[in-house]
Amino acid sequence: MDRSEGNHRGLPLHEFMNRGSLRNLAAQFLLLAIFALALSFPTFAQERVRIGVSSRGFGSLPLFVAEKKGFYAKYGFRPEIVLLRS
């Protein structure tokens, strides 16, 4: 089918584009672009997480190192390391 013959509604191409479909297509593209842009930014709200440790010894050292290096913040967590009584 030649593009100048018409579309599925039987309208010539120039009449089909004049009926607002170009405006509708532009609006859909704009919404898709805004949605894609919104998903590309990381979330800024951080979830508070409490981590309980029994001592500040060698066994819990990776938790403190990860906090100092910012590994938790990278994934959206704000840790609170709590020393538990034994």
Q: Which of 23, 1, 25, 5 is nearest to 14 (CA)?
A: 5
**Same structural domain for residues 37 and 51?**
no
Band (pLDDT 50/70/90 cuts) for residue 59 is confident
Using alpha carbons only, what angle is made at residue 4 by residues 16 and 26, rounded to the nearest 5 degrees? 40
Give the range of the structural domain holding residue 68, as residue numbers without chain letter: 47-83
Condensed to tens digits (0 to 9), the pLDDT of residues 62-78 reads 888 998 999 888 888 88
Contact 54, 84 (CB under 8 A): yes
Q: Is the whole model's pTM more than 0.95, yes or no?
A: no
Considering the domain architecture, whether residues 65 and 32 belong to the same structural domain is answered as: no
- Do 29 and 52 fall into the same domain? no
35 with 61, same domain: the answer is no
Burial class (CB in 10 A: 0-12, 13-18, 19+), 81: middle
Q: How many structural domains compose the chain?
A: 2
Mean pLDDT in residue range 40-50: 71
Based on the fold, state whether residues 25 and 61 are members of the same structural domain: no
* 53 shares a domain with 28: no
